[in-house]
Every structure is written in structure tokens, then in C-alpha cells.
């Protein structure tokens, strides 16, 4: 079946949806765009798209069965609800809403109307994440126990509307929802404690530098870090497992795994060893022959699989990959992180 899609909000990400769908998804045609800015509507027309004169005109277009909402975050809830009530299937950009109670309202309307409702958590298809998911899922390095996931920039304040509270700006709602979603997908266990350190170094109204600790019921812990003022980056991922360590350096996915060599037996001497940092037993470097270096697993990923799944759900009743219930967990962690920082303490929970 062929589907006609309209995009609400034709800025950076709205343009990406249009391009990605047009190039890669045969079953969806992007028909038109609604944007409150005239220049954005003109850009749509220049690219051969129909520019709606109002939101209502889009909602009343019976040819359109699917809508992608890609506006600033504070408009997501009302727009998604309007589209669902108009009988459209809806894909909403992340963060789906400003908090979990807004998302619950949206989910209620999706249930009432029986329309498809999903969130564009596209970073589930990022190559770096899929590599780490493979290492953890297959226990390639034994049992994972601590995962560090970081995105680090150095451009200072949050940009444009992302710097304003009223628009749902701030790093936790911007990148936080991606990094949290990735962890919740990868670790099959409830979050039992959230400890958040949110700083506003350059953005007056919102958080722009974050350290977020998540503790899972199965004993795994994670540190998520998002920075706008980092000039010497840590690796994108650092994964500690019982039999070794994995590092994915950056989005280009350079990196390696180092594992214990199973055939290399060695005895640790009981004596203190003198290193450049003085005497130590615990931190004596392990001899090279007791370790082996492995290449990171190879994975095939494609962001367009998100929309391929949407088509499969609509046409063949396939299972939706990005489910609102999963995103509700993400938004509940976000709410708890804000509360943790407000109270300046870790919050026990079961999410
Ligand atoms: N999934 C991802 O990887 C990813 C990446 C970037 C942005 N995003 C998300 O996409 C959304 C848009 O971000 P962006 O970077 O494209 O922002 P942007 O500022 O580039 O574009 C937003 C567009 O929405 C329009 N707009 C604002 N209010 C509107 C309204 N009420 N009705 C119709 N149009 C309206 C603006 O005129 C603008 O053209 C955000 O929710 C953001 O978090 C997701």
C-alpha cells in the first residue's frame, strides 16, 4: 500500500525526514508541509512539496494518512493530539513531550482513536550503539557491569529554542532522551535509582552539561554524560565487562575490545611493584601476553529501518519497534532525573 505523509515543522529535522523518506522509502510519498514560518513553506514549495496554508488544511487533507511532527518540543503534545483526532497516524520527533504526564495524555488519545503513534528514537539505529548492544547482548566480553555513554561538544550554550525552558529546551530533553532510550533498550532490567547532575554553564534557562547515573536492578550501572564545553573528549562508549573492556571512540566507530587471553596463565607476585607512580600491588600493569585485542563486531544499520517498520506495521500488522510504552519509561527517567537534581540526591525508583 502506498502512504502519503505530511510534515509539521520544516526546519533542520523536518527537512531530514523529507529527504530520507524520499530517497529510501518507496511506500511513502511526502505530500506537503505545514510550518508557521513563511520561509520554511517557501522552501517546501521550491522542493516540489505542497505548502499548506494552515494546520487545519493539513488535518482536513484526506489523502494524507501519516504525519511527522518535527517542531520545537513544546508543540509536540498539542500537534500530535490534533493529528490523531483528525484520524492520522503520527510519528513524533523526540523528546516526545516535556514530561511523562504529557506523554500519557498523548497515549490515551492514540488508544481512543486507534491510530499508530510512535516516536522517532532514531538513535536505536546508530552504528556505535548497535556495536555496543551486540557486545552486551551476546556477552562477548562476559557480563557487563558498567557502561559509560557520552556525547561531547564544545560550542557552549544550547542553540536557538533549545536554550529556552518554555520550548522544552535543555540537554536532558535534547540528547538525554536518546542516550537513556539506548540504555533501556540494551539492558533488560528496571532502573532502580537515578542520580542526576545537571548544570547550566552557558544556558541561563536550561541544563547544558549533564552527568546522569542510572542503576539497574540486575546490578549493571551506567554513566551518561552530555557536554557542551568539552575540549578533550572521552570515548563515545566505554564498556566494562567481567572478561574485558570495549571502547568505541566516536561516531566513526573506531575502537577495540581487550579481553583476557584464556590460554595465558600467570601468577601475580605478592611483592609490591615500583611504578612511575610509586609502589603498588593493585595497579601493577598486566603483562601483554595475558590479554588479546579483538576488533569490534561488525553491524549493519540503516536509519531508514525506522520508517520501513512503520510501513510494515500499517500494511502487514508487524510489531512496532519504537513503542510509546518504551518511551514512557524514558520520560519517567527524565522526570526522575529532574527531581534528583532538584533534591541533590539519588532517587530510588522502579522504572
Ligand atoms: N531524532 C533526531 O536525531 C533529531 C535531531 C534534531 C532534532 N530533532 C527534534 O526535531 C524537532 C525539531 O528540531 P529542529 O532541529 O528541526 O528545529 P528547527 O528549529 O530547525 O525546526 C523547527 C521548525 O518548526 C517550525 N515550527 C515551530 N513551531 C511550529 C508550530 N507550532 N507549527 C508548525 N511549525 C512550527 C519552525 O518554524 C521551524 O521551521 C525537535 O523536537 C528536536 O528535538 C531530532
70 lines ligand 1 (CB under 6 A): yes
102 lines ligand 1 (CB under 6 A): no
Q: Ligand 1 center to residue 27 CA distance, Å?
A: 24
Helix H or strand E segment including 134: helix 127-137
Q: What is the pLDDT of residue 312?
A: 98
Q: What is the pLDDT of residue 166?
A: 97
My answer on whether omega of the bond before 346 falls inside 30° of 0, hence cis, is no
* Rounded-to-integer distance, Cα 308 and Cα 275, Å: 56
Mean pLDDT computed over 227-238: 96
Of 9-13, 41-45, 260-264, the one with minimum mean pLDDT is 260-264
Of 226-230, 250-254, 287-291, 296-300, the one with minimum mean pLDDT is 287-291
Q: Is the dihedral of CA 155, 158, 160, 162 positive or negative?
A: positive
User: Looking at ligand 1, which atom is closest to the CA of residue 120?
Assistant: 1
Query: If pLDDT is split at 50, 70 and 90, which confidence band does 262 have?
Result: confident
For residue 45, is pLDDT > 80?
Answer: yes
Second CATH level (architecture) for the domain 3-120: 3-Layer(aba) Sandwich (3.40)
94 lines ligand 1 (CB under 6 A): yes
Query: If pLDDT is split at 50, 70 and 90, which confidence band does 275 have?
Result: confident
120 lines ligand 1 (CB under 6 A): yes
For residue 270, is pLDDT > 80?
Answer: no
Q: What is the pLDDT of residue 138?
A: 97
CB 158 within 8 A of CB 200: no
pLDDT tens for each residue of 312-343: 999 999 999 999 999 999 999 999 999 999 99
Would you give the end-to-end CA distance of the chain in angstroms? 38
Q: Ligand 1 center to residue 12 CA distance, Å?
A: 7
Q: What is the pLDDT of residue 274?
A: 87
For residue 239, is pLDDT > 90?
Answer: yes
For residue 43, is pLDDT > 90?
Answer: yes
For residue 182, is pLDDT > 80?
Answer: yes
CB atoms closer than 10 angstroms to residue 342: 11
- Closest residue to atom 30 of ligand 1, CA basis: 36
For residue 269, is pLDDT > 90?
Answer: no
Mutate to test the pocket of ligand 1, among 7, 8, 9 (most ligand atoms within 8 A of CB): 9
* Average pLDDT value over all residues in the chain: 96
Mean pLDDT computed over 300-314: 96
Q: Ligand 1 center to residue 335 CA distance, Å?
A: 22
Residue 250 CA: distances (Å) to CA of 64, 146, 183, 237? 39, 18, 17, 8
Q: What is the pLDDT of residue 167?
A: 97
Residue by residue, DSSP assigns 13-41 as: HHHHHHHHHHHH-TTEEEEEEE-SSHHHH
166 lines ligand 1 (CB under 6 A): no
Q: What is the pLDDT of residue 279?
A: 86
Q: Ligand 1 center to residue 289 CA distance, Å?
A: 52
Per domain, the residue ranges of the chain are 3-120, 124-302+332-348
pLDDT tens for each residue of 208-224: 999 999 999 999 999 99
The residue that leads in pLDDT, 265 or 285, is 285
* Rounded-to-integer distance, Cα 269 and Cα 265, Å: 13
Q: Ligand 1 center to residue 312 CA distance, Å?
A: 26
78 lines ligand 1 (CB under 6 A): no
Q: Name the percent of the chain lying above pLDDT 90.
A: 91
Q: Ligand 1 center to residue 26 CA distance, Å?
A: 24
User: Looking at ligand 1, which atom is closest to the CA of residue 174?
Assistant: 43
Mean pLDDT computed over 3-32: 97
Q: Ligand 1 center to residue 294 CA distance, Å?
A: 41
User: Looking at ligand 1, which atom is closest to the CA of residue 75?
Assistant: 31
Mutate to test the pocket of ligand 1, among 58, 71, 164 (most ligand atoms within 8 A of CB): 71
36 lines ligand 1 (CB under 6 A): yes
Residue by residue, DSSP assigns 292-348 as: EEEPPPP----TTHHHHHHHHHHHH-PPPSS-HHHHHHHHHHHHHHHHHHHHTS-EE
Mean pLDDT computed over 38-67: 98
* Rounded-to-integer distance, Cα 99 and Cα 336, Å: 10
Q: Name the percent of the chain lying above pLDDT 70.
A: 100
- Closest residue to atom 6 of ligand 1, CA basis: 13
For residue 286, is pLDDT > 90?
Answer: no
Helix H or strand E segment including 137: helix 127-137
19 lines ligand 1 (CB under 6 A): no
pLDDT tens for each residue of 121-167: 999 999 999 999 999 999 999 999 999 999 999 999 899 999 999 99
For residue 264, is pLDDT > 80?
Answer: no
How remote is the C-alpha of 154 from its chain's centroid?
20
Second CATH level (architecture) for the domain 124-302+332-348: 2-Layer Sandwich (3.30)
Q: Ligand 1 center to residue 2 CA distance, Å?
A: 26
Residue 308 CA: distances (Å) to CA of 26, 53, 318, 324? 9, 30, 10, 17
Amino acid at each position: 500500500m502506498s502512504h502519503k505523509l505530511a510534515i509539521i515543522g520544516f526546519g533542520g529535522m523536518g527537512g531530514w525526514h523529507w529527504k530520507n523518506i524520499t530517497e529510501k522509502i518507496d511506500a511513502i510519498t511526502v505530500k506537503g508541509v505545514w510550518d508557521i514560518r513563511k520561509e520554511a513553506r517557501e522552501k517546501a514549495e521550491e522542493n516540489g512539496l505542497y505548502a499548506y496554508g494552515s494546520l487545519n488544511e493539513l488535518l482536513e487533507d484526506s489523502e494524507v494518512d501519516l504525519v511527522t511532527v518535527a517542531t520545537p518540543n513544546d508543540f509536540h503534545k498539542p500537534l500530535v493530539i490534533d493529528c490523531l483526532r483528525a484520524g492520522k497516524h503520527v510519528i513524533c520527533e523526540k523528546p516526545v513531550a516535556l514530561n511523562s504526564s504529557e506523554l500519557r495524555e498523548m497515549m490515551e488519545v492514540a488508544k481512543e482513536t486507534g491510530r499508530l503513534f510512535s516516536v522517532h528514537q532514531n538513535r536505536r539505529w546508530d552504528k556505535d550503539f548497535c556495536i555496543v548492544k551486540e557486545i552486551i547482548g551476546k556477552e562477548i566480553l562476559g557480563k557487563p557491569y558498567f557502561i559509560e555513554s557520552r556525547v561531547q561538544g564544545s560550542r557552549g550554550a544550547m542553540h536557538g529554542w533549545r536554550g529556552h525552558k518554555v520550548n522544552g529546551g535543555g540537554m536532558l530533553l535534547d540528547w538525554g532522551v536518546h542516550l537513556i532510550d539506548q540504555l533501556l533498550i540494551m539492558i533488560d532490567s528496571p532502573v532502580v535509582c537515578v542520580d542526576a547532575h545537571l548544570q547550566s554553564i552557558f544556558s541561563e534557562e536550561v541544563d547544558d552539561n549533564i552527568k546522569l547515573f542510572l542503576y539497574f536492578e540486575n546490578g549493571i550501572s551506567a554513566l551518561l554524560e552530555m557536554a557542551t564545553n568539552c575540549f578533550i573528549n572521552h570515548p563515545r562508549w566505554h564498556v566494562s565487562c567481567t572478561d574485558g573492556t570495549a571502547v568505541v571512540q566516536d561516531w566513526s566507530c573506531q575502537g577495540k575490545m581487550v579481553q583476557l587471553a584464556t590460554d595465558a596463565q600467570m601468577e601475580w607476585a605478592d611483592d609490591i611493584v615500583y611504578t612511575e607512580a610509586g609502589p603498588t600491588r593493585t595497579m601493577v600493569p598486566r603483562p601483554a601476553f595475558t590479554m588479546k585485542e579483538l576488533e569490534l563486531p561488525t553491524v549493519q544499520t540503516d536509519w531508514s529501518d525506522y520508517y520501513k517498520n512503520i510501513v510494515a506495521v500499517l500494511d502487514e500488522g508487524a510489531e512496532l519497534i519504537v513503542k510509546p510504552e518504551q518511551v514512557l519509561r524514558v520520560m519517567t527517567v527524565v522526570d526522575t532525573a529532574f527531581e534528583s537534581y532538584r533534591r541533590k540526591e539519588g532517587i530510588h525508583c522502579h522504572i
